[in-house]
Amino acid sequence: MSDWFLQRPYGVRFEWGPVGAQRLPSDVACLVVVDVLSFTTSVSVAVEAGTRVYPYAWRDETAAVFAREKAAALAVGRRAAGSASPWSLSPAALRRAPFTARLVLPSPNGSAIAAAAAGSAVVAGCLRNASAVGRWLAAHGYGTPELPVAVIAAGERWPDGSLRPAVEDLMGAGAITAELQARGAGPLSPEAAAAHVCFRHTPDVAAAVAACSSGLELTRGGFAEDVSIAGELDADTAVPVLTDGAFQPAEARVRGQRLTRLR
C-alpha cells in the first residue's frame, strides 16, 4: 500500500479525525489528540485537578460496566448531568462536580482517536495546555524525524457521519505545533505548518473559538461557559499522557526513563 499519507520525513505531522489517527501511528512515536470542544479540554481540566481519566468510545450501557470495572465515576451527556451524576463532558460541569479520583469519559471522537494510537505514546492536547504539551514533547525528544509526533485534530461530525473539520481543533493543533517549532522541533510537514500559520495569524483565538460553528452550537445550547473555558490559552500546566488506559499527569509515567516509541 502506498505510504504517501505518512508525511515523511517530517518530525511534526498533522492530520484529521479517527481515520487520520489510524493511518499515522504506525510511523510516529507520539500522537497528540486535540478535541477542544470538548473532550481534551475536559481531560485537561480533570487531570489538572488530580483526576485520572479513562477514555471510552461509547456512551451506552457498556460504559457503566467499564466504569464499575475501573472503580470510577461515569461522565454522562451534558444535558443528563445532575445531582446523581454530576460529571459530564462539559468542562464547566467537571469544575463544579465533587472531586473523583477516577473518571470514565465517553467520547466517540476523542476516545476513538486515542484508541487508534496503539503502539505510540498518546497525549491529550487543547488550547488550555498547548504550551505545556509542546514543552513536554520537545523535552522528551519528540517532534524530530527520529521520534516524529502526529497532532490529530478530532473535528466534528455532520449528520451523515462524515468528518467536519473544526476551527477550534485547528487552533489547538496550531498552538501545539507553534510551541514545538519554538523549541526546535521539526521540520513541520506542510499540513502541520498550515495549522501553525492559522494559529499564529488569528489575532484573538478565544474569540474565534466562540464565534465558530462549534462554539455557536454550544453557546446557543446553553453551554457558553464550556466555550469560554476551552478558549483559555495556556491556563493549565498538567500534560495528560495515556498511561495504563487512563490519562494521567506526565510525571505519573515511569520516572527517570526516556520516553520513546512504546513497542
**Averaged pLDDT for residues 99-104:** 97
Q: For 171, left (φ over 0), alpha (ψ -120 to 50), or beta?
A: alpha
- The answer, as to whether pTM is greater than 0.75, is yes
Give rounded-to-5 percent helix, strand, coil for the chain. 45, 20, 40
- 219-235 pLDDT per residue, tens: 999 999 999 999 999 99
Beta bridge partners of 140: none
Beta bridge partners of 151: 14, 32
CA 80 to CA 126: how far, in whole Å? 24
- 105-142 pLDDT per residue, tens: 998 888 888 877 666 799 999 999 999 999 999 999 99
CA 73 to CA 33: how far, in whole Å? 22
Tell me the pLDDT of the chain averaged across its residues. 92
**Averaged pLDDT for residues 193-205:** 98
Listed residue (260, 30, 259, 42) closest to 151, CA to CA: 30
CA 19 to CA 154: how far, in whole Å? 10
pLDDT greater at residue 259 or residue 246: 246
| pLDDT recorded at residue 261 | 33
Regarding beta strands 156-157 and 149-153, do their DSSP bridges make them parallel or antiparallel, or are they unpaired? unpaired
Number of CB atoms found within 10 A of residue 158's CB: 9
Residue 194 exposed, middle or buried by CB count within 10 Å (0-12, 13-18, 19+): middle
Listed residue (116, 122, 98) closest to 31, CA to CA: 122
Query: Domains in the chain and their CATH numbers?
Result: 10-244 (3.90.1560.10)
H or E segment to which residue 105 belongs? strand 102-106
| pLDDT recorded at residue 108 | 83
